[in-house]
């Protein structure tokens, strides 16, 4: 359901609440964003303001819009907004099936439930496989995306990873919120991302992999005695969508460097391995650098 009327209402009639939502949104980010970065998250801020922010009365701005009905919508159309209010949620979804020009089906990463999302334009452009981060809702009997922006990622999670997360959620664990997602994407621009952005258009992948192997063979006796380069490749290939630092800690184990600059050298090496070596969870079993180059060429 289009939310243009709600956005206009928030921007023109609820300026004080919108400023409050922006203030809370920025406060909850773990990194102070520049004005340029804030422009990039405008749609996320509006989504947060409409669905997640609470006024002094404890209500969402979507709920306020429905009660005020400033556009004098007829009852059947207003009920559509009420349906969205009642059913909306933000999550990570795996793309399962696509009917071009009509709909696509997704599976909630945290619950395993499958939703058919009706979107004629979106179904024309969405890839056959991968993950999306989005807010969906059911209105007039059909599920659809109600996010202002949909993030498409060329990865799929392993069955083992999905099983572990679903057991955690079934046991009372939380799913990812919009703010947590934005924090992961914008709020913690770490060295891994910086290094990839600086190198992905410049470095020959095959050459870089040879350099990484040479670095490993030079340092293996102090980094992980008794192991071989194929152990590194296997570690990166079989990662399950987790955190690079956690994987690095697990891989090096008791040989993980504690002091600088030894730790920084290990970290730089492992981040380059993460970026330049293939991952099983990435569509096509490619490296992040290969995917980044493909996206750059498309843009």
Name the residue ranges covered by the structural domains of the chain: 4-85, 91-173, 191-298
pLDDT, position 191: 46
> Count of alpha carbons within 13 Å of 259, Cβ hemisphere only?
0
CA distance 95 to 47: 22
* DSSP-assigned beta bridge partners for residue 99: 103
Q: Consecutive 10-residue runs of the chain (299 residues): their mean pLDDT?
A: 88 95 87 73 93 95 96 94 97 94 96 96 88 94 92 75 86 88 65 51 80 95 93 92 76 79 84 90 86 70
Q: Is the distance from CB of 6 to CB of 13 less than 8 angstroms?
A: no
pLDDT, position 189: 44
CA distance 18 to 20: 5
CA distance 191 to 263: 14
Neighbours of 297 (CB within 10 A): 8
* DSSP-assigned beta bridge partners for residue 104: 98, 117
188 token code pair = 């913690």
Pairing of strands 151-153, 142-145: unpaired
**91-173 architecture in CATH?**
Beta Barrel (2.40)
Q: Is the distance from CB of 287 to CB of 278 less than 8 angstroms?
A: yes
168 token code pair = 């955690």
CA distances from 119 to 77, 124, 152, 256 (A): 19, 9, 15, 48
Residue 139: φ, ψ to 5°: -145, 135
Q: How wide is the angle at C-alpha 184 spanned by C-alphas 181 and 186, nearest 5°?
A: 100
Distance of CA 223 to the CA centre of its chain: 32
pLDDT, position 151: 86
Rg of the chain over all Cα atoms, to the nearest angstrom: 22
> Count of alpha carbons within 13 Å of 193, Cβ hemisphere only?
8
Closest CA to 141 of 98, 95, 79: 79
pLDDT, position 182: 85
């Amino acid at each position: 359901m289009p939310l243009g009327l709600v956005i206009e209402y928030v921007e023109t009639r609820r300026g004080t609440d919108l400023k409050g939502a922006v203030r809370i949104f920025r406060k909850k980010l773990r990194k102070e964003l520049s004005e340029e970065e804030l422009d990039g998250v405008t749609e996320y801020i509006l989504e947060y303001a409409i669905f997640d922010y609470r006024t002094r009365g404890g209500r969402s701005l979507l709920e306020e819009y429905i009660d005020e009905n400033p556009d004098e919508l007829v009852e059947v159309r207003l009920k559509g907004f009420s349906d969205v209010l009642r059913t909306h949620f933000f999550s990570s979804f795996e793309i399962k099936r696509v009917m071009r020009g009509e709909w696509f089906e997704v599976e909630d990463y945290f619950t395993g439930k499958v939703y058919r999302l009706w979107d004629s334009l979106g179904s024309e452009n969405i890839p056959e496989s991968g993950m999306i981060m989005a807010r969906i809702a059911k209105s007039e009997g059909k599920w659809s995306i109600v996010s202002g922006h949909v993030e498409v990622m060329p990865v799929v999670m392993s069955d083992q990873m999905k099983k572990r997360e679903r057991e955690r959620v079934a046991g009372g664990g939380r799913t990812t919120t919009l703010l947590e997602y934005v924090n992961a994407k914008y709020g913690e621009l770490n060295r891994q991302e910086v290094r990839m952005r600086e190198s992905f258009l410049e470095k020959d992948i095959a050459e870089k992999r040879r350099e990484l192997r040479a670095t490993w063979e030079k340092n293996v006796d102090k980094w992980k005695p008794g192991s071989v380069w194929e152990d590194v490749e296997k570690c990166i290939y079989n990662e399950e969508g987790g955190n690079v630092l956690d994987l690095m800690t697990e891989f090096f184990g008791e040989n993980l460097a504690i002091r600088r600059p030894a730790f920084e050298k290990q970290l730089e090496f492992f981040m380059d391995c993460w970026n330049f070596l293939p991952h099983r969870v990435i569509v096509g079993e490619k490296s992040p650098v290969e995917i980044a180059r493909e996206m750059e060429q498309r843009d």
